[in-house]
C-alpha cells in the first residue's frame, strides 16, 4: 500500500510540474509527448506510468524536457536508489539470517544423532526423539514462545501474574468447577493461574500417567489428542479387555 501511495504522490507532482509550465516558454513533457488534447485521466495514468519506471528497469517515452522536470527526476531517482538499496539490503540480511538458522538447526540434529548413536539408543526410540524435536522446533518457529520475548522479564510481578492469568484461564473455564471459581472467587483464580499452572509438552506415544500413581496434578489439553486406556477384569480367570476412549 505504501508503494502505491508513494507512486501516486510522485505521479501527481510530475503532472503538476507539467501543468504549471504549460503557459511558460519552456517545453514540458506534456507538449513534448503531444498530450495537450488528452483528458486529465490519460495524463494522470501517463504520469503514474512514468513514476513507476523510476523504481524499475522499465522505460517509457516520457522524460524530462526542462530544468524543473530534470531536478524533480533526479530527486526521484536518488530516492528510488536509496529505497531500492535498503530493500535489497534487508532481503539479503534476512536470507543470510535464515540460512544461518537452518545451518545451526541441521548442525544440532547432527550432534543429536551422534550422541544417540554413541550411547546405543535403539532405532525406534531415536526415531521418536527426532520426530518430537522436529515437531517442537516447527511449533516454536510458528508460535512465539515466552522465552523468546526478552522484555517479559522486565515486567513487574503483578503484570506477569495478570498476563499468566489471561493466558491460562481460557483453558480452565471449560471445566464447570473452575468456571464457578472464576465467577465467584476471581482473586483466588488469579493466584491459582499465576502460581500453580505450568505448560507441559508431550510427544506422540508419551505416557502422561499410569494406574496406581499418586494423583497430585490435573491436566488440561490445549492442543492435540490424548488417549486413555483402562484395563477391566471381567472374570476370575484374569481375562482382560482393553478399552480405549478419546
The answer to whether 73 and 18 have CB atoms below 8 angstroms apart is no
Q: Report DSSP letters for 222-236, one per residue.
A: -SS---EEEEEE-ST
Mean pLDDT of the chain: 80
234 phi, psi to nearest 5 deg? -90, -45
Tell me the per-residue pLDDT of 184-206, one tens digit each, with 9 for 90 and over.
888 888 888 888 887 777 777 77
Report the percentage of the chain scoring pLDDT > 90.
6
Check pLDDT > 90 for residue 12. yes
CA nearest neighbour of 208 among 224, 232, 189: 224
Number of C-beta neighbours around residue 202 at 10 A: 13
Coil, helix or strand at residue 142:
helix
Q: Mean pLDDT over residues 150-179, rounded?
A: 83
> What is the reported pLDDT for 75?
92
Helix (H, G, I), strand (E, B) or coil at 245: strand
Nearest to 10, CA basis, from 62, 85, 87: 62
- CA atoms of 98 and 12, how far apart (whole Å): 40
Strand partners of residue 10: none
Separate counts of helices (H) and strands (E) for the chain: 8, 2
Tens digits of residue pLDDT in 67-117: 888 999 999 988 888 888 888 888 888 888 888 878 888 888 888 888 888
Quick check: 241 and 234 in contact, CB under 8 A?
A: yes
Q: Provide the pLDDT confidence category of residue 232 given band limits of 50, 70 and 90.
A: low
pLDDT above 70 (res 239): no
Q: What does the domain layout of the chain look like in residue ranges?
A: 1-143, 151-246
Question: Quick one: DSSP state of residue 152?
Answer: G
Over residues 115-139, the pLDDT tens digits come to: 888 888 888 888 888 888 887 777 7
Query: CB of 22 within 8 A of CB of 35?
Result: no
SS3 242: strand
pLDDT at residue 161 greater than cutoff 80: yes
pLDDT one-digit tens code per residue, 35-59 = 888 888 998 999 999 988 888 777 7
CB 76 within 8 A of CB 69: no
Residue 140 has pLDDT above 80, yes or no: no
- In order of 114, 161, 164, 199, 233, the CA distances from 195 in angstroms are 39, 8, 9, 12, 40
Q: Rounded distance, CA 81 to CA 100, Å?
A: 28
Gap between the Cα atoms of 244 and 230, Å rounded: 7
Statement: the pTM of the whole predicted model exceeds 0.75: no
Amino acid at each position: 500500500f505504501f508503494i502505491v501511495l508513494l507512486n501516486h504522490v510522485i505521479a501527481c507532482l510530475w503532472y503538476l510540474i507539467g501543468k504549471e509550465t504549460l503557459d511558460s516558454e519552456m517545453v514540458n513533457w506534456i507538449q513534448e509527448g503531444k498530450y495537450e488534447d488528452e483528458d486529465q485521466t490519460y495524463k494522470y495514468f501517463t504520469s503514474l506510468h512514468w513514476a513507476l519506471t523510476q523504481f524499475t528497469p522499465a522505460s517509457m517515452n516520457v522524460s524530462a524536457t526542462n530544468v524543473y522536470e530534470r531536478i524533480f527526476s533526479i530527486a526521484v531517482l536518488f530516492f528510488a536508489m536509496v529505497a531500492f538499496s535498503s530493500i535489497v539490503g534487508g532481503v539479503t540480511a534476512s536470507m543470510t539470517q535464515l540460512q544461518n538458522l537452518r545451518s545451526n538447526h541441521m548442525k544440532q540434529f547432527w550432534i543429536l544423532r551422534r550422541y544417540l548413536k554413541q550411547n546405543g539408543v535403539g532405532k525406534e526410540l531415536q526415531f521418536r526423539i527426532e520426530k518430537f524435536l522436529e515437531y517442537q522446533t516447527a511449533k516454536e518457529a510458528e508460535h512465539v514462545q515466552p522465552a523468546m520475548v526478552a522484555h517479559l522479564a522486565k515486567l513487574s510481578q503483578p503484570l506477569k501474574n495478570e498476563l499468566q492469568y489471561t493466558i491460562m484461564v481460557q483453558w480452565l473455564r471449560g471445566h464447570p468447577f473452575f468456571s464457578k471459581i472464576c465467577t465467584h472467587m476471581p482473586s483466588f483464580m488469579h493466584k491459582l493461574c499465576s502460581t500453580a499452572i505450568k505448560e507441559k509438552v508431550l510427544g506422540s506415544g508419551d505416557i502422561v500417567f499410569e494406574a496406581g500413581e499418586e494423583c497430585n496434578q490435573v491436566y488440561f489439553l490445549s492442543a492435540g489428542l490424548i488417549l486413555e486406556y483402562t484395563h477391566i477384569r471381567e472374570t476370575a480367570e484374569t481375562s482382560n479387555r482393553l478399552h480405549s476412549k478419546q
